Structure 1
């Protein structure tokens, strides 16, 4: 079943370089982004905040659905994946505009029950030029059934030519939530994540995993023209992940060998 939805939402931001530099520090990198510098890929997640008063938030800390995103009647939200097209670098300290369109909002029925799928398309402009187009795929689910068997995650590839281990502390998850103004409680409220949504710990943000893969891709294959990623299973804050690359394929492998995220990078010509 498809749902009607508002056409667009537009937000503006000055792309404060201090915010990007703070994120570099959180990642353990030198803070070298100043006004006029090109932002690394996916750093636009730090901008275009959408603050809502407490009464406009849902139980999970996200803004209540029913505005730009229609209410699909399902309480649990996941960022399932996305695709990005990089046309020109975004510059820190320069005004930017993001225009968002709901491309898809529909119900389906999966093996685990009813699901809601929403796709947002964001276009970010600076100086009147579209610098970045992003498709963001969201999935909405029912609350977990404690008596139902746990889904078996897929096994990750092991044919990587480069790999590196990365850990995610609760402090890093908190700082990323703060820098992106993401109130989703599964990333910082352990009791909520465990007792309400059924996770074993705090959940590492999907976009934070994708950020690591994009930085790795840019380092190893050069500037990016396109990047796509898809979440396969959640990663907990107490788990060490392995970032892997083979050619233009990248992925995140969990400590038990499961696939956490799969991605593909298209280098710029």
Structure 2
């Protein structure tokens, strides 16, 4: 795996270029972790969102932040907004061609937007990244990745009320996310964020009730459900609305092109929309 950085046009800022051979064993391991039959070998078309397993950006321990993520200065891409807590707020994907396992691919990443605002709980930072993934000379995927940065929670501050999830699903799947699955997903995606495996840190520093289920892992499950119900996808968008804890079962819900994740207490943890490919 190789990482290069060069200059783009002034409107795009810096582009970070990454190469990866899309090891099929890594995708087959995720299938097993999700309770699926492993079927991916070299040349197999990857399920949507499995590219999250690739294009790692490992850095030495001394360049990690307190939360286990690489410090912002290490990538040369994301600006330092001076806010310690990082969350994946959502994203949007356009699927143009299937990515294939075992074939080298290039990811080109750029910051499309970066701004700070004052929210009800204090300052918030918003960063939108755009990733284009190319394979065999053709763009296969365009992805927008929304990040939110915020201050540490105040013990006295009231918890925001999460939205209530819809109950009009036409299809539903019950899923569980125990600590073993969270550990495996963190390992497969090289995600060192401590809220997913360090219970003391998640509770005492970031104020969560337990380990936090990865937003991308929720989105991955919704995308697999969408493919099961609709066939190949042209687009998929999602937004995280409340954290799900590792000890909570969840319901994946679908009604038409709308999908969402409902927690046991009825709160909505994620909402999404899927657009299937047009039938020829």
TM-score (norm 2): 0.94
- Structure 2 counterpart of 1:206, from 215, 236, 242: 215
1:80 to 84, 89, 107: 89
Contact kept in structure 1, 2:12 and 2:110, CA below 8 Å:
no
1:76-107 residue CA offsets vs partner (Å, 9 max, x unmatched): 00000000000000000000000000001111
Q: How far did 1:23 drift?
A: 0.5
Residue 53 in structure 1 maps to residue 53 in structure 2 = no
In the alignment, the residues of structure 2 paired with residue 218 and residue 29 of structure 1 have an alpha-carbon distance, to the nearest angstrom, of: 14
8 Å CA contact retained: 1:5, 1:69: no
Moved over 4 A (4+): none
Q: Distance in 1 between matches of 2:39 and 2:163?
A: 38
How far is the alpha carbon of 1:112 from its aligned partner? 1.2
DSSP 3-state at the match of 1:51: coil
RMSD of equivalent CA atoms: 1.0
The equivalent position to 1:31 in structure 2, one of 35, 38, 54, is 38
Offset of residue 6 of structure 1: 5.0
After the TM superposition, which residues 114-129 of structure 1 pair with which residues of structure 2 at under 5 Å, given as runs?
114-129=123-138
What's the CA shift string for 1:124-152, capped at 9, x where partnerless? 00011000000000000100000011110
Q: Is the 8 A contact 2:104 2:135 kept in 1?
A: yes
SS at structure 1 position matched to 2:72: coil
- Which whole-Å CA distance do the structure 1 matches of 2:12 and 2:127 have between them? 11
- Whether the 8 Å contact between 1:82 and 1:137 is mirrored in structure 2 is yes
- 2-side partners of 1:251 and 1:199: how far apart? 21
CA positional deviation for 1:46: 0.2
- Pairwise CA distance, 1:109: 0.8
- Paired with 1:256 and 1:82, the residues of 2 have a C-alpha distance of 25
Q: CA deviation at 1:8?
A: 0.9
- 2:100, 2:216 → 1: CA distance? 20
Matched, 1:245 2:258: no
Partner of 2:6: none
Partner Cα distance (1:6, 1:138) in 2: 18
Query: Hey, what's the Cα distance between the residues in 2 that align with 1:191 and 1:128?
Result: 46
Within 2, Cα distance between the matches of 1:6 and 1:245? Answer: 38
The answer for the alignment partner of 1:93 in structure 2 is 102
1:195, distance to aligned residue in structure 2 (A)? 0.4
Contact 2:44 2:101 in 1 (8 A): yes
Structure 2: gaps (5+ residues): 1-10
More displaced 10-residue stretch of structure 1: 177-186 or 63-72? 63-72
CA contact (8 A) 2:16 2:108 kept: yes
Deviation at 1:5, TM superposition (A): 9.1
For the residues of structure 2 that align with 1:112 and 1:217, how far apart are their CA atoms?
35
Residue pair 1:5, 1:70 contacting (<8 A) in 2 also: no
Kindly indicate whether residue 171 of structure 2 is the aligned counterpart of residue 162 of structure 1: yes
Residue in 2 that maps onto 1:107: 116
2: CA distance between counterparts of 1:111 and 1:158? 29
For structure 1, the 5+ residue unaligned runs are none
**Separation in 2 of the partners of 1:190 and 1:263?**
28
